[in-house]
Chain A
């Protein structure tokens, strides 16, 4: 289980949160002009990254605010928490050595946010 640092409430157990999936997907500005493939891309296609991923979380059983998290999906390390509307921060992560392989530190549940 993850320990997530809500920017409004502080560290809480992941059970209080829901994950809203990939962050920074913008709703198309010109919906009527989109063709079916572009709609599919917006609605269904996802990067589903192994390694550093930017994603949205909601503190659904707490303050109910949305925010963004940078997390390494290969190790489950949470690398940064930032507010909606902010640019994704540049963070260092232990990405897998080969695309489908393990990161140097191995995988596992790193339940605390990385404190520098």
Chain B
């Protein structure tokens, strides 16, 4: 029998306060590994957990395991700068990202878990004539696709975000910006934990500290996985392992069009509220928002070479900070407190792969690169559909692995605000 977890509410908070918060139940179990599952999800990041959650919730799959080599949300899900938006250029991308954005809007209620989704708006800033044209093109494309988007001129940018430097004399002056008001941020750890708790309550086994080391295939059909904790059988395996996707694909003899690279972020000392939106700039590559704790959350670029070391080069951080300080001179004396990297799986067209493979029962969801956090619920939604029906959902059909043979790429590089 599935035992639903205690519902979180203001009453449970008060009740637990009386026992000094020492009697909260674990949010998910630590189950024994079964011999066989109906479906196994490899990778316990946000995308893997949402896949399991929607497999159980939307498709009634009962016996599911999520197998994670480290801990839940220890990958890019817990390392990103949490920017959520759907203002992508191409129809296929706008459709899948906006579907995700709609799920974000109801997520805390759906999960009974506060993911601190905050629709504070995302501004994409233009610094030259080319930027202005590109961003205006995207603004119009978004409106045609029913994605909310506005154009702000320099004065309106200053009004929306007073601390930004709109002097015409800086090296890359602010010449306007697009604004998506429905966009914003969320608390990334809470997303992983909330979906883990939700999946667990529907009977999904969340297995941590268990690395997948092999994929068993018999006559073109997948039969299970080898792990550091033994063999687990299943006829359906969905791989959602971000930076390590190529390594796992190789276990099944599949080559993917991915490059794994470090992407870095950093946060400052906490200060009083100073910036109540998200500001992004492609041209000078900087993006910044402020967390509820008061830290500035700053994202850098990817390193120019492949690496799995989860650390990037210092020069990348330096470039980002230069850009931030030019756009926000008042941040120039702030101290940075923490800094880290994640390994992102980059596709040649900067779009994801959510696809069947030529091996029956083996599915891949990868290539989200530098910008998949925003897609977390939507990615799981369509991937669960793909696994349950052995058919892509209409929203992920364009993101099949076959597009690299057919040439039907969804080229979002540069088209949609490069990063995130």
Residues of A within 8 A of B (CB): 1-2, 13-15, 18-19, 21, 36-37, 39-41, 43-50, 53, 55, 71, 73-76, 98-101, 107-109
Contact = CB atoms under 8 A, between A and B. Distances in A.
A73 B306 contact: yes
Interface residues of B, number: 34
Given A100-B69, A100-B244, A73 B256 contact: no
Interface stretch (B101-109, B140-148, B196-204, B309-317): B309-317
A66 to B, nearest CB: 15
Q: Which of A15, A19, A46, A48 has the most CB of B within 10 A?
A: A48
Contacts of B308: 50, 73-74, 107
Given A19-B304, A48-B260, A50-B247, A40 B405 contact: yes
Contacts of B255: 41, 45-47
Contacts of A108: 309, 311
B100 to A, nearest CB: 25
Contacts, number: 100
B247 A46 contact: no
Contacts of A37: 405
Given A55-B306, A73-B306, A76-B309, 14 more contacts: A2-B305, A21-B259, A36-B406, A40-B405, A41-B255, A46-B246, A48-B246, A48-B256, A48-B258, A48-B259, A76-B311, A99-B211, A100-B213, A100-B244
A109 B247 CA distance: 21
A107 B313 contact: no
B33 to A, nearest CB: 17
B155 to A, nearest CB: 38
B251 A99 contact: yes
Interface of B: 69, 211-213, 228, 241, 244, 246-248, 250-251, 255-260, 304-311, 313-315, 348, 404-407
A14 to B, nearest CB: 6
A48 B259 CA distance: 6
Contacts of A76: 307, 309, 311
Nearest to A15: B315
B310 A107 contact: yes
A43 B257 CA distance: 9
A48 B348 CA distance: 13
29 contacts: A1-B315, A14-B313, A18-B304, A40-B257, A43-B404, A45-B255, A45-B257, A47-B250, A47-B255, A48-B258, A50-B246, A53-B306, A55-B306, A71-B305, A73-B260, A73-B306, A73-B307, A73-B309, A74-B309, A76-B309, A99-B248, A99-B251, A100-B211, A100-B213, A100-B244, A101-B69, A101-B211, A107-B309, A109-B309
A3 to B, nearest CB: 11
A47 B258 CA distance: 8
B366 to A, nearest CB: 11
A109 B211 CA distance: 24
B61 to A, nearest CB: 25
B259 A99 contact: no
A1 B246 contact: no
